[in-house]
Structure formats: structure tokens, C-alpha cells
Amino acid sequence: MHTSEADGRRSRTRLIAAFRDASLDAESGLLLHRVVELAACTVAELRIHFAGVDELAVAALVEEFDTGSTIYFTARVENRLTGTQLSEQAMAYVLGFIGERRPVYRQILTGGSRSAVAAEEALAERAREYLRAQRESAHPEVASRMFAAGVMAIIRWWLADDAPMSTEDLAREISRAVPPDFTH
């Protein structure tokens, strides 16, 4: 890897870490300047990697999807819990991240924005990867899109309605509703 590529990856990593911290107590409008301050970079450097804060927020969320998947697969290999319990655990992890940053994700994920579509596509891709590894399941493209659209619709409702359920309750209810292809 070239030095410039490594520097770019480090910058991107710093920006995502700064977003994680800055978004814990910020409204979306104030977030840009706090992120660049915490990342020790400029707005121009942020824009090299991301079109704006919304795209940065989606990148951070995608990392959380990946971490949630890792939690699921690690526990699945260890065979500690049922598929539904594992799904609930992974979903609670992702919902916790979103819930801690509610004002930012409410603005970014509701209202049909490009960022909301990008987050849904990222979730669908992770679901497709999982389904392709299954021997017998529904068509991966159809099932993954249905799963992602459903989960994102629930998250948008949860954010817009100011959390009518706790993170844990919502994770449990989503996991109970997940099709069997995602829990075996």
C-alpha cells in the first residue's frame, strides 16, 4: 500500500471516529465543524472522503452493521444462543448506536434522503452476503431487499416517533419478526 493510500485510510478512520464522538451530543447542523475539529483535519479533507456529514454518518452506520454481523457470526460459531437470540443481540448493538445519536440519525434516515437509501443498500448487501452462505433460503436479492427495507422502515418509525420502544424492546421485536432465513 502506498503512503498516500495509507494516509487516506487513516484520515477516513479518524473522521469516522470523530463522527462517533461528535454525534453523541450534537444536532446535525453543528456536527460538521465539531467532526473536523476532533479529527484534526479541514472541511476540504473531509470532503475528499465524504460528500458531507450525511455520507459520513452512513459510513459510520455501515461499520456498525459490520460489527453487528461480526457479533452474530462469532456467537453463532460458538453456538451459544439461538438464531433469534443472536439476531436480537446484533440488532440491539446497531439500534444502540443509532439511539445514542438520535437527533443526527433522525434527520439523516427519515424523509427519503439519498443517505437513507445508501444505508438501506448497505444493510441489504450484508443480508445478501449472509443469505448466499445459506444452503436453502429465499432468493438472496429478494429476501435481502425485503429485510433491509423492513428494518430501515422500522428504524425510521422509531426515530420519527421519538422512540416509542426502548432499544432492547425494539431489537427483540424486530428479531421475532425476522424471516427464518436470517436466523438459522
Task: Give 2-37 pLDDT, tens digit per residue.
Answer: 667 777 788 999 999 999 999 987 665 568 889 999
Higher pLDDT: 184 or 169? It is 169
Return the pLDDT at 28: 55
pLDDT confidence of 111, banded at 50, 70, 90? confident
Residue 181: predicted pLDDT: 66
What pLDDT sits at residue 170? 95
- pLDDT tens digits for range 116-160: 999 999 999 988 887 877 767 778 889 889 999 999 999 999 998
pLDDT tens digits, one per residue of 60-97: 999 999 988 887 777 777 777 777 888 888 899 999 99
Amino acid at position 17, single letter: A
**pLDDT at residue 29, rounded to an integer:** 59
Copy the grid coordinates of residue 123.
444493510
Global confidence as pTM: 0.87
**Residue holding cell 445508501?**
118
How much is the average pLDDT of 53-61?
A: 93
Residue 183 has pLDDT above 70, yes or no: no
pLDDT tens profile 164-178: 899 999 999 998 888
DSSP 24: T
For 10-37, b where at least 16 C-beta lie within 10 A, e where not — what string?
A: ebbebbbebbbebbeebebeebbebbbe
